[in-house]
Amino acid sequence: MSHVFPPFEPEETAHPEKARPKRRRSIGFRGREVPIRILIPSMFTLLALCAGLTAIRMAIEHRYDIAIGAIVLAAVLDAIDGRIARLLKAASRFGAELDSLADFVNFGVAPAIIIFTWALGGLRSIGWLVVLAFALCMALRLARFNVSLDAPDQPAWKSEYFVGVPAPAGALLVLLPLYLEGIGIPPGIANASPFVLGYTLAIAFLTVSFVPTFSGKLIGQRVAREYVLPVFILAVLFVAVLLTYPYMTLTLGSLAYLAVIPFSFVSYRKRAAQAKQSAQAQNGSRTRKKEQPDADQRPSV
């Protein structure tokens, strides 16, 4: 009797073209078991997707505080699932595709609906076109990111930067007008339609731009022993502050992120110039070595 559900067959790597060729499987492969560790990262991704869908519902019901909290939770889960996949060595093509689809809903569709129902609904078509542009830019950004994973290996220093603003950061940044209203900025200023329109388009542009931004993926991979307890304390304090003063914390975090973008651009240009000079120096030394004949090939005097 055949199974109701087809067997789950995650690939061993997120990039099949880099994998070794597989042997032909026998007919009786359906009884093979899948390790639980392969499923754990996808479970976190599905939880993040549930948070994003909940944010959409809360936006429709005009419960924006819960909607913002759901977006923040989705961003946290999105940061966790990738690290768990690398830690458990459970990366798969299925997980990568699921994560990309969840990111589009969580950080493209949900923030767009929140912004539209909060400030741009009265503009009707114009407001809808703006949030539609934001969602489309987020889809293009995610598609470009997925394609870049299959690109040839880049220098190690480039892994410290994103190309454009990443999807979770873009979703949290575009909600800055809501944070401003939450900390007491007069509603006439925070949710003014021209301001929200221009700001939403600006964040949409940053997501698909080629402006380099700090990655942060390499932060926290290793911690010195003497800093373990301070890291625990700072992490707990940050969560406590975020839960106690959510709008103020998100406002300061968003403004700080926007302020750091010019510095990341300058840092990237410096690193690129240094790498170019180093490559030119290496090529020059190799050229001189080729032009200089070996001792055995020199003509005898």
Tens-binned pLDDT, residue by residue, of the chain (301 aa): 556 656 666 665 554 444 444 444 443 334 567 778 888 888 999 999 999 999 999 999 999 999 999 999 999 999 888 888 888 887 778 888 899 999 999 999 999 999 999 988 888 899 999 999 999 999 999 998 888 766 667 777 777 888 889 999 999 999 999 999 989 887 677 667 889 999 999 999 999 999 999 887 656 566 777 777 888 898 899 889 999 999 999 999 999 999 999 999 998 888 888 888 887 777 766 666 565 555 444 433 3
* 136 in a structural domain: yes
* 209 in a structural domain: yes
Tell me the angle at which helices 125-149 and 93-104 cross, rounded to the nearest 10 degrees.
Answer: 160
Q: What is the CATH number of the domain that holds 227?
A: 1.20.120
Q: Which residues on adjacent β-strands are paired with residue 162?
A: 213
* 61 in a structural domain: yes
* 281 in a structural domain: no
The pTM of this model reads 0.80
- Domain of 205, in residue numbers: 34-147+159-274
Structural domain total, the chain: 1
* 301 in a structural domain: no
Exposure string for 263-285, b = 16+ CB within 10 A, e = fewer:
ebeeebeebeeeeeeeeeeeeee
